[in-house]
Structure 1
Amino acid sequence: MKPAPQECKCNGHAESCRFDETLWLRSGRRSGGVCVCLHNTTGRHCQYCQSGFFRDPEKLPSAPDSCRRK
């Protein structure tokens, strides 16, 4: 049985999440949310910049324009 939906921790870079049952099972049925990332970010919590982008050190990590094109 899937857990009830919860807010994703996406660092301000997603409007939604998707449920990954494999991840949920591997976590001991504690966490299965994966962010659907925006703003040129990637990672389970949109914590990385996509390939071809870098984190602007003068921007907050949660800023929509924090990942800049190389």
Structure 2
Amino acid sequence: MQFKKLYEVAEVQSGLVLSRKEAKFDSEKSVDYLKLNLRSISEDGTINKKSLDKYLACEKLNIQFITAKGD
């Protein structure tokens, strides 16, 4: 078996600490998102959109933290 370093096969970036951006209460500035979780990812790697969690952020999140097609 041949081993490789993770950086050789993937571009890795840590995510956002959600508790820092979570809205304490609903306001005009808060933004609704769907949050990816382990339950929402099937064994074949597809995402079950019905299993995503709701997340209320205190502000609009930077696009680099939003999961997109091809990620």
Q: Which has the higher contact order (CA 8 A, sep 6+)?
A: 2
Q: Please indicate the TM-score interval, normalised by the length of the shorter structure.
A: under 0.3
From the two aligned structures, give the one with the greater strand fraction. Answer: 1
Larger Rg belongs to = 2
TM-score (norm 2): 0.21
Q: TM-score, normalised by structure 1?
A: 0.21
Point out the structure with the larger helix share: 2
